[in-house]
Amino acid sequence: MSLGIYISIPFCRTKCSYCNFASDVFSRAVFDRYVDRVCLDISNAQQTAQEMGGRIEREVDSIYLGGGTPTVLEPDQLRRMFEALRAQFSVASEAEITVECAPGTLLPAVVDTLLRCGVNRVSLGVQSFIDQEAAAVGRLHKHATVLDDISRLRAAGITNINIDLIAGLPHQAAESWRESLSKTIATGAPHVSVYMLEVDEDSRLGRELIAGGARYHAPFVPDEDATADFYLAAYETLEDAGIVKYEISNFARNGFESRHNLKYWTRRPYLGFGVDAHSMLLSSSPTVEAVRFATADSLERYVPGAPLQKTEISCTAALEESFFLGLRLNSGVNLKKLEAAFGTQLLVNFRGIIADQCECGLLEQQGEIIRLTSRGCLLSNEVFEAFLAPPHIQGNRISV
50 assigned to some structural domain: yes
Whether residues 364 and 245 fall in one domain: no
Whether 281 and 252 have beta carbons less than 8 Å apart is answered as no
Q: Same structural domain for residues 59 and 201?
A: yes
Domain identity same for 241 and 327:
no
Same-domain check for residues 385 and 240: no
CA angle 189-191-112, nearest 5°?
60
Quote the Cα angle for 151-174-144, to 5°. 20
Q: Based on the domain organization, do 9 and 143 belong to the same domain?
A: yes
pLDDT along the chain (400 residues), means of 10: 96 91 85 97 97 95 95 97 98 98 95 98 98 95 96 97 98 98 98 94 93 96 96 97 98 98 97 98 95 96 97 95 96 96 91 95 96 94 84 32
Domain boundary among 262, 284, 305: 262
Q: What is the pLDDT of residue 366?
A: 96
Angstrom CA distances, 241 to 128, 185, 252, 315, 325, stand at: 18, 7, 10, 41, 27
As for how many domains the chain has, the answer is: 2
Among residues 241, 262, 283, the one where a domain terminates is 262
Residues 212 and 345 in one domain: no
Quick check: is 159 in a domain?
yes
Alpha carbons within 13 angstroms on the beta-carbon side of residue 378 total: 16
Q: Has residue 298 been placed in a domain? A: no
8 A C-beta contact, residue 354 and residue 363: yes
Task: Return the pLDDT at 27.
Answer: 85
Distance of CA 243 to the CA centre of its chain: 18
CATH number at residue 164: 3.20.20.70
Rounded to whole angstroms, the Cα distance separating 308 from 154 reads 39
Answer yes or no: do 188 and 48 share one domain.
yes
Final residue belonging to a domain, choices 217, 236, 262: 262
pLDDT at position 389 is 56
Give the torsion sign (CA, 40, 96, 188, 172): negative
Domain that holds residue 340: 316-400
* Domain-located, residue 350: yes
Query: Are 229 and 340 within one domain?
Result: no
249 and 332 share one domain: no
- One domain for residues 244 and 331: no
Domain annotation covers residue 186: yes
pLDDT of residue 343: 92
What residues contact 155, with CB distance under 8 A and at least 6 apart? Answer: none
By CB neighbour count within 10 A (0-12 exposed, 13-18 middle, 19+ buried), where does 146 fall?
buried
CATH number, domain containing residue 363: 1.10.10.920
In order of 75, 186, 263, the CA distances from 81 in angstroms are 10, 34, 22
**Any domain includes 304:** no
Q: Is 167 helix (H, G, I), strand (E, B) or coil?
A: strand
- Report if residue 47 sits inside a domain: yes
Q: Are residues 253 and 340 in the same domain?
A: no
Q: Are 202 and 336 members of one domain? A: no
Determine, yes or no, domain membership for 296. no
pTM for this entry? 0.94
